[in-house]
Structure 1
Amino acid sequence: METSMKPAHIGRKISRIRELRGIKQETLAQELGVSQQTVSRMEQSENVEEDILAKVASMLGVTTEAIKNFSDEAVFNYFNTFNDNSFNNSNGAFNANNCNFNPLDKLMEALEENKKLYERLLESEREKNELLRQQLRKD
């Protein structure tokens, strides 16, 4: 059985790296001094000129080789290394890979604490207003 290699679709790779970096087409277009439609067409192209590729790579904070050699599989493999226990500290005192709390729970706790502080501040302001009203009535 013969398998044919698909040509590297540079535009698709640029698009994927841009998305992973959290950059919008409009932002990339503005940085390159072109329209968003031009960036869209570039991302649909299989090939991109070397000088343009170099500018895009610079804007995305990667090398041209990184774009040419990019694959989703490599990205997933990279992030999967964070779950690899071979990176543990030798004394076992701290393991950054195994977080023992849920960050979203901590965020919600902080939001609740802020809400309580706001309510206390609001109540304090109401008390001040009431004292001022009482002072005005006495005068």
Structure 2
Amino acid sequence: MSTLTKPSHIGRKISRIRELKDMKQEALAEALGLSQQSISNLENSETIDEDKLIQIAKILGVTVEAIKNFSEENMINYFNTFTDNDFSNSQGANFGHVNACTFNPLDKLIESQEEIKKLYERLLQAEKDKIEYLENIIKTK
């Protein structure tokens, strides 16, 4: 049978996506309310009803179209698009134009530490004010 007329084996695609997501059959089975053996049978099926496919796609965090169009070749091509030039730009990591980081995480960490320091200073001053107030009450009695 030529590859052009070979039927799409949806069960194998689900199995491969599940493996790429580092999910065991037991976890998928539990999420679907099925047994592990049922998942094994499902992954050996060439076709799956649309409602079940929608449930599986939701659990795997992908679209039904992603499952239907999944191929190892597409995955290899996808990951080969990440070249060394894609991993850096003038603002930091770019990671293939997906959610480019526009700030320096270390700067954010330092900012948060400064905020914490200011909060502690305000808390300390409030405690000092409270002690002074209480001392004044004691002195007046």
**TM-score scaled by length of structure 2:** 0.60
Q: Which amino acid aligns with 1:13?
A: K
**Identical aligned residues as a percent:** 59
Distance 1:88 1:36, change over 3 A: same
The 3-state SS of whatever aligns with 2:7 is coil
Give the drift of 1:48: 0.3
The 3-state SS of whatever aligns with 1:12 is helix
1:68 match: 68
Name the CA distance, whole Å, in 2 between partners of 1:83 and 1:40: 37
- Which runs of 5 or more residues in structure 1 are unaligned? 98-139
2:23 match: 23
Report the count of equivalent residues: 94
- Which runs of 5 or more residues in structure 2 are unaligned? 96-141
Q: Which amino acid aligns with 1:32?
A: L
Name the CA distance, whole Å, in 2 between partners of 1:95 and 1:79: 16
Matched, 1:9 2:9: yes
The 3-state SS of whatever aligns with 2:81 is helix
The 3-state SS of whatever aligns with 2:26 is helix
Q: Which amino acid aligns with 2:82?
A: F
1:50 match: 50
Kindly provide the CA deviation profile for residues 3-49 of structure 1, in whole angstroms up to 9, marking residues without a partner as x: 65200000000000000000000000000000000000000000000
Give the drift of 1:94: 5.0
Distance 1:27 1:86, change over 3 A: closer
The 3-state SS of whatever aligns with 1:82 is coil
Q: Which amino acid aligns with 1:49?
A: D
Give the drift of 1:85: 2.4
Residues 1-139 of structure 1 correspond to what in structure 2 (within 5 A)?
A: 4-83=4-83, 85=85, 88-89=88-89, 91=90, 94=92
Q: Which amino acid aligns with 2:39?
A: V
Name the CA distance, whole Å, in 2 between partners of 1:6 and 1:35: 29
Give the drift of 1:70: 0.4
RMSD: 2.1
8 Å CA contact 2:9, 2:45 repeated in 1: yes
The 3-state SS of whatever aligns with 1:34 is coil
The one of the two structures with greater contact order (alpha-carbon pairs below 8 A, sep at least 6) is 1
Distance 1:23 1:94, change over 3 A: same
8 Å CA contact 2:32, 2:56 repeated in 1: yes
